[in-house]
Amino acid sequence: MPCIIEVIFLQFMYPLVIRKKILAVKERDKLTLEQVDKRFDVHPRTILRWKKRINPKLKRNKPATKIDINLLGRDAEENPDSFQYERVKRFNVSPDTISLCFT
């Protein structure tokens, strides 16, 4: 039962078209990072990251660290009627962590 972490990244990701347009306006108008921040409300560090890698990362190359997926799966099999708040207490994690794993 894999944990769907990609959902988090997709919620906060700027589409590639928007990234390219913002970088094009920055170059065309010769804007500083601070000016881009004021104009588009995009942090300067984000702009620098886009310059290094324009395409968004869609996958996370890191295993889940807060919760052992195998233990969670076993818990779901042993306690199929448990509410999420009960699993939150058993695993000592946030409700978001549990809900992402069952998405």
The C-alpha atoms of residue 64 and residue 60 are separated, in whole angstroms, by 9
The C-alpha atoms of residue 98 and residue 45 are separated, in whole angstroms, by 31
pTM, entire model: 0.51
66 contacts 97 by C-beta, under 8 angstroms: yes
Q: How far is CA 35 from the centre of its chain?
A: 26
Tell me the pLDDT tens digit for each residue of 26-62.
Answer: 999 999 999 999 999 999 999 999 999 998 877 766 6
- State which amino acid sits at residue 68: D
- State which amino acid sits at residue 102: F
